[in-house]
Structure formats: C-alpha cells, structure tokens
Chain A
Amino acid sequence: MTDPSPLLDVRGLSIRVAGTAEPLVDNVSFTLNAGETLCIVGESGCGKSLTALALMGLLEGTPLRVERGSAMFQGIDLLSAAPDVLRGLRGDRAAMIFQEPMTSLNPALRIGEQIAEAVRAHRDIPRDAARARAAEMLQRVRIPAAGKRLDEYPHQLSGGMRQRVMIAMALANDPALLIADEPTTALDVTIQAQILDLMRNLGAETGTAQIMITHDLGVVAEMADKVAVMYAGRIVEAGTTAQVFDDPQHPYTLGLMSSMPSLAGDQGRLVTIPGSVPSPDDMPRGCRFAARCPFATAQCEAPPPLAPRGTGHAVACWHAPLEDFAVGQRREVPA
C-alpha cells in the first residue's frame, strides 16, 4: 500500500496559537502517492483547513505557528522551506482551491486574464500563449463556450461556473498536488455532482494527487482512495475508503456515521454523539473525544496513539476495535 517514496509525506504536524496549552492541530501524519485522492473529513473546527494552509505555507500573518513536523514533497520540506521557495511552488507544482471562489478570484479582472496570469507567474511564455492555455483550461473544465467566457468577469458566472474557473486556474500549470478545501460545500447537490465528476476525471487524466477536505462522508465515499477522519485537531482514524466505511473502529467515526440519516430507509431515531466539540482553548489533554465517547474509561485520560490495525488502517483509540468493551464500563473522563 505505502509506496517507498510517496509524493507527499507529512509527519507529526502540530500547529499552535502561541501561548496556548494544547496545539490546535496535533501530531498529524499521512502520506499521499501520485494519482491518489485523500479525503480529510471531520466537523467544523477540527483543523482540516489549518492542516491544508500549513502545507501550502499560508499560515503567515495569523497567530498560528507550525510547532513541529515535516512534510516532504518532491524533495522539499513544505513546513520549513523559505517563503520564496513556497511561493514558487504554490500555483505551480502544488495548487489549492477554496470553498468560496469569490474570495480567491479577483472581481476586477476578466477570468481569461486571471488564468493567464497564473500561468505567467510560473512560466516565461508570451501573452497569447498564456491566453491560449487559459482557453484550453476552460474547455477542460467543461465550461460551455469557453472562448467567449475568457472575457467575462467572475460576477457574471454562477457559483458552479466560478468553481470550475478555480479548478482551471489551479490545474493550469499541471500541479503534482492539488488541495481542495470544501470545493463543493456551497453548491447545490446537482452542481456538486458535476464538480465532483470533473475533479475525478481530471485527476485520472492528469495523475494529479488530490487532498480533498470535506465534512460530507458521502463526498468521501465517492472521491477518496484514502480517508483521514479528524476530530479536534487529531487524526482519529485513517485507512482506505473500504476500511473506514466497512470496518470503522473509532467511536467518533461510528458516531459520525450513526448521526447521518440513511438513504436506505427508516432507521428510527438517530443514534447521536452527545455534547459538542471541545473549545480550542480548552482542549482535553487525553483523548480529545473522551467527554463525548460512550466507550471512555480512565485509560482515556492519556492520549491514545494512532496505532496500526492492519495494513494501511490506523485508529487512535485505547479500546479499538471495541469488541471487548463491556457496556457499563464507561467512566466520566475529566477534561
């Protein structure tokens, strides 16, 4: 499963706000091979975007610091590389797209020029060649009448079309790695289906490895080769899509899946996760899920390591795979 030299090798990434007791993102590790899609899934505030921003060197100007860890990508450590090295990588070998395209598109610039500029920022090519590349990219993201659209402004496009433009721009320089942070969350389900199809097809065509961030397990099942489930800044379960969906072992993964209404039919009352996520300035020191976990015991006052459970599958829970847990054994774990 694990390639001897993955395209991206993230080890022990921790991110902290200076002066706080516990890191916001804690000891996150994963690998990604060329052509693979990894989905990072978890609820609001669990550190998905921070992880992505750290990898792209975009925490600059925030109170957040990478405290520890490495992320080797084509011989460069993304977490310690100099700002100008990262600037050279971004939009070239590694690209990112965001949930809300309007925040990353320049409203005053025609979309053709924006894509052409993204190309010329990294390639020394003439203007008309860059414009031709922009037209080609718009075609590849299946924007109808691409030639005409080049001269339109972002506000003239629908949300789905803008997201296509973002994808076109991100892929314009044939990146080896694409990070997409909730690229379809703001879209209707019908438009989401179009964008997901597009991203899957382009991924297959170009071999671009993708990290897709989402809170939707349906999107995960449809897109991912590998999955990392995050809770409160930590990866609690990781594995292939089949492992995580067919053999889920972390109580949070189970709770998350149980919370989702099923399309299969009536499942009666939803089996929920009690409570809500810990606040970032009050992170528990042990297992961060303990206060909400039906399986918690005194042991859970210590942080569980993300331990292997078969090839490629790893779970951070003292009681995984839960089969030996006797109901009634649960203890309240002080935060």
Chain B
Amino acid sequence: MTQTILSARGLVRRFITGKPLFGAPTVVQAVNDVSLEVRQGETLAIVGESGCGKSTLARLLTRLIDPTEGSVIYGDRDIASLSGTELRALRREMQFIFQDPFSSLNPRMTVGALIEEPLRIHRLGTAPERRAKVAGLLRKVGLRPEHADRYPHEFSGGQRQRIGIARALATGPKIVVGDEPVSALDVSIQAQVVNILEDLKEELGLTLIIIAHDLAVIRHISDRVAVMYLGEIVELGDAADLFATPAHPYTEALLSAIPIPATGARKARTMLEGDPPNPIAPPPGCRFHTRCPYAQAKCRDERPELRTPSPDRQVACHFAEQLSLTGVNAAMAARPDAAQRRFALYSHARAAMAGAQTDKTKPTTEE
C-alpha cells in the first residue's frame, strides 16, 4: 500500500502569458516547486481554487506537458527521459479522463471506434480481439455493447463520461488521472459515475489521481488529499484526518466554505476575504499571508517549506504546530435519526429494484 508509484521532485512550470515588444514577458508560475509521492493503489485528490495549478500539475505528472524545472519519477525513471517504445509504454500506463471527454474527440467517430482508438494506436490485439475488448469495456462502465455503433451526440452527459472512462481504461493503464471527471454531471448521475470509478479502481487495482472542486466528492472518493494554493502544495495528508483536523489555515478556510446539506448548518462562513492574488505576481513569503487570519510578520518575509510535522501529514505553514484549526463538523453533517430511517427504506427498496432488474436480465443503460 505504501509503495510509491509516481513521484514529483521540485516541479516548476511557468507559462509566458504576454510578450510585450519591449521589456520582460509576463510569466505565470502555474506550478511552483511541487514535490509529492503518489502511492500505489491509492486515490489522491488535488484541490484548490480555480487557477491554483491543479490541471497543470496533473499534466506534468503524466507528461502531457514538460516541466520548466524538476522531474517526475515513474518506475525509477525520469519520465522526461523516455522516448520511442518507452514513451509509448508510459502513455499506455497513464491515462487521462477529462471533464467532457468528447469536446476533444472526433464527433464523426462511433463510440466503438473512439474506445478502440487507443488500442489501435498502441497496436494491442487483433481487430476481433479489439472489438471484444470494446464490448467488455462498455459493459464494465454500465453501458451495452450495442452502444458501440452509435455516435457521441446520442448520449447524455453521464453516459459520455462512462464512455470517457471506457476509453481511458482501454489500454489497461496503471494510473488514471481524472481532471474534474464528475464536475459537469448532475448529482444523481455523478453518484453513478463515482460508484463506477470506485468499482473499477478496486477491480483493476488502479491508482487514481482526481481533481475535483466538490469537496464532498473528494472526501468520499480519496485516500489522501493535496491542497494547492497559487501553484504550491500547502497541505497533504490522509483525507479523513485532513478534513477533521486541518493543519494549514488555507485548508481550514476551504473547508469552512463548504455548504453543508443539513439543517442547522446555516452559519456565517466567510473566512477568506477577496479573491486569490494574481499568480503573475504572487505575494512574497507565504503566498497565503495576504488572506490568512493568522499571519504574523514572519509570514510576509519567509516562505514556509512543506514540512512533515506529524507522520502522514505535510504542511507549509510556519505556525502549523501552534495553531488549533477547525475542520468539518461531522456531527453537523450527520442525518437525524428520523431521516436516517427513511434513507434506510430508500436504500433497501433501491437494492431490491437493482436485484429485480438483474434477475430479469433486463438491460439497464444506467447502473
């Protein structure tokens, strides 16, 4: 479980966003000195506000883009040094699921051809073998083999995301990265896709790296969570612990902003004033000091290193040990007994319904 499958060392990625005729170009430091280890078989989540560098980090980890500095080590090799057969093997073993898998795919290809495409590119199997594989993949994600002959536009958002998952799984990857894979979906469809992801992860022994902005989804799906702020990881730890006892003020603020779907949850929640600073000119010292309610003089001058104050927790805050921060109040999020009984009724009836439908071997498109 604690074996490392992928590790990032001092990753930096800068983008040039403006090149004036004279003077220095404008540079965004999208990812700044990020080091982390991804453990074999875990689900690691990356969270943070829009623009903090989550997608850039995910792309660096899978070599969809190259780092400006630093390296990514996979199976004791720096992935930047791979080429030819080795690079193709890497592509096979690391796959990406996008928010809308079809925005980047050819709408004139059938779903079957789209799922088969990675197999053809990697020259895996004979044509009949590939077709059988496509049928199997469709079944795995809760669709029907006949769906292979249809076109993307004939599917709902949730079904498309299932197809995106099938395509990502085609080459038998070891690591699957999902960049907001369920964010565009309605709650009921999101739940179906979350279950599928979890089932497949279990069945295939995948390692998942998931970016999502819904913190409840993150809490549910992930083993560990990395919190990013302005290109840096400010906290990383076990999901349950991090939600219960955050150690970085930014994590605390992020958690306090989650609207909790339970009565009595109403509260004044603004811990963070204003917007995140411009990543083109991040604040000196601790990048969070301009919004941090606990900031001291030291925070303005010295950049806090990502330290390991307790086992299984990394924090980049000078005062992590002194602060006593508030996490999610699990008792508040819990359901009252009366409601709980009715949820049990629903759950029971729901299970009976699924059972009845499988008995009749009635094809169910969803679930």
Residues of A within 8 A of B (CB): 43-44, 144, 158, 160-161, 188-194, 196-197, 215-223, 241-242, 245-249, 251, 254-267, 269-277, 294-295, 321-323, 325, 327-328, 330
User: What residues on B are CB-neighbors of A242 within 8 Å?
Assistant: 263
Q: Is the CB of A276 within 8 A of B158?
A: yes
User: What residues on B are CB-neighbors of A219 within 8 Å?
Assistant: 259
- Residue A263 contacts which of B268, B330, B336 (CB distance < 8 angstroms)? B330
Q: Is the CB of B346 within 8 A of A193?
A: no
Q: Is the CB of A272 within 8 A of B262?
A: no
Chain B residue nearest in CB terms to A327: B352
CA distance A189 to B212 in the complex (A): 12
User: What residues on A are CB-neighbors of B259 within 8 Å?
Assistant: 189, 192-193, 196, 216, 218-219, 221-222
Q: Is the CB of A275 within 8 A of B356?
A: no
User: What residues on A are CB-neighbors of B328 within 8 Å?
Assistant: 263
User: What residues on A are CB-neighbors of B260 within 8 Å?
Assistant: 218, 221-222, 263
- SS class, residues of chain A in contact with chain B: loop
B113 contacts chain A at the CB level, 8 A cutoff: no
How far is the CB of A61 from the nearest CB of chain B, in Å? 26
B338 contacts chain A at the CB level, 8 A cutoff: yes
Q: List 28 A-B contacts (CB under 8 A).
A: A43-B186, A44-B186, A189-B213, A189-B215, A190-B49, A192-B257, A193-B256, A193-B257, A193-B259, A216-B259, A218-B260, A221-B261, A222-B269, A245-B261, A251-B349, A256-B187, A260-B216, A262-B216, A263-B258, A265-B219, A265-B240, A272-B191, A274-B192, A274-B367, A322-B346, A327-B348, A327-B352, A330-B356
Q: Is the CB of A325 within 8 A of B262?
A: no
Q: Is the CB of B270 within 8 A of A263?
A: no
User: What residues on B are CB-neighbors of A255 within 8 Å?
Assistant: 188, 346, 350
Of A189, A222, A265, A275, most B-chain CB atoms within 10 Å: A189
CA distance A272 to B243 in the complex (A): 24
User: What residues on B are CB-neighbors of A247 within 8 Å?
Assistant: 338-339, 342
**With known contacts A43-B186, A274-B354, A193–B348 Cβ distance under 8 A:** no
User: What residues on A are CB-neighbors of B254 within 8 Å?
Assistant: 189-190
User: What residues on B are CB-neighbors of A190 within 8 Å?
Assistant: 49, 253-254, 257, 272
**With known contacts A194-B273, A260-B216, A261-B194, A294–B257 Cβ distance under 8 A:** no
User: What residues on A are CB-neighbors of B274 within 8 Å?
Assistant: 144
Given A266-B220, A271-B343, A276-B189; 20 other pairs, CB 8 A cutoff: A189-B215, A190-B49, A193-B269, A194-B273, A197-B269, A216-B259, A218-B216, A222-B267, A246-B263, A246-B338, A251-B346, A256-B187, A258-B350, A261-B219, A263-B219, A265-B219, A272-B350, A273-B191, A274-B192, A294-B350
**With known contacts A193-B257, A257-B343, A263-B333, A245–B263 Cβ distance under 8 A:** yes
CA distance A192 to B357 in the complex (A): 41
**With known contacts A218-B260, A260-B261, A270–B195 Cβ distance under 8 A:** yes
Q: Is the CB of B364 within 8 A of A274?
A: yes
**With known contacts A264-B330, A294-B349, A275–B191 Cβ distance under 8 A:** no
CA distance A190 to B269 in the complex (A): 9
B366 contacts chain A at the CB level, 8 A cutoff: yes
- Residue B191 contacts which of A222, A259, A330 (CB distance < 8 angstroms)? A259
Q: Considering the complex of A and B, which 6 residue pairs feature the smallest CB-CB distances, nearest first?
A: A218-B259, A261-B220, A259-B191, A294-B349, A193-B257, A217-B261
CB contacts under 8 Å to A, within B12-71, are: 49-50
How far is the CB of B122 from the nearest CB of chain A, in Å? 32
CA distance A44 to B190 in the complex (A): 12
**With known contacts A254-B343, A261-B219, A295-B349, A215–B269 Cβ distance under 8 A:** no
CA distance A181 to B317 in the complex (A): 39
- Residue A188 contacts which of B191, B213, B220 (CB distance < 8 angstroms)? B213
How far is the CB of B258 from the nearest CB of chain A, in Å? 6
User: What residues on B are CB-neighbors of A196 within 8 Å?
Assistant: 259, 269
CA distance A195 to B253 in the complex (A): 15
Q: Is the CB of B257 within 8 A of A43?
A: no
Q: Is the CB of B347 within 8 A of A271?
A: yes
How far is the CB of A140 from the nearest CB of chain B, in Å? 15
How far is the CB of A262 from the nearest CB of chain B, in Å? 6
Q: Is the CB of B356 within 8 A of A263?
A: no
Chain A residue nearest in CB terms to B367: A274
User: What residues on B are CB-neighbors of A44 within 8 Å?
Assistant: 186
Of B190, B243, B259, B364, most A-chain CB atoms within 10 Å: B259
Q: Is the CB of B216 within 8 A of A261?
A: yes
User: What residues on B are CB-neighbors of A327 within 8 Å?
Assistant: 348-349, 352
**With known contacts A43-B188, A272-B188, A294–B353 Cβ distance under 8 A:** yes
CA distance A322 to B350 in the complex (A): 13
- Residue B268 contacts which of A197, A257, A259 (CB distance < 8 angstroms)? A197
User: What residues on A are CB-neighbors of B158 within 8 Å?
Assistant: 276
User: What residues on B are CB-neighbors of A266 within 8 Å?
Assistant: 220, 240
Q: Is the CB of B339 within 8 A of A330?
A: no
Q: Is the CB of A260 within 8 A of B187?
A: yes
Q: Is the CB of A194 within 8 A of B272?
A: yes
Q: Is the CB of B270 within 8 A of A197?
A: yes
How far is the CB of A96 from the nearest CB of chain B, in Å? 22
User: What residues on A are CB-neighbors of B333 within 8 Å?
Assistant: 262-264
Q: Is the CB of B270 within 8 A of A271?
A: no
- Residue B334 contacts which of A215, A241, A260, A264 (CB distance < 8 angstroms)? A264
Q: Is the CB of A245 within 8 A of B339?
A: yes
Interface flags, B182-204, vs A, CB<8A=1, else 0: 00001111111011001000000
Q: Is the CB of A276 within 8 A of B156?
A: yes
User: What residues on B are CB-neighbors of A277 within 8 Å?
Assistant: 186
CA distance A223 to B259 in the complex (A): 10
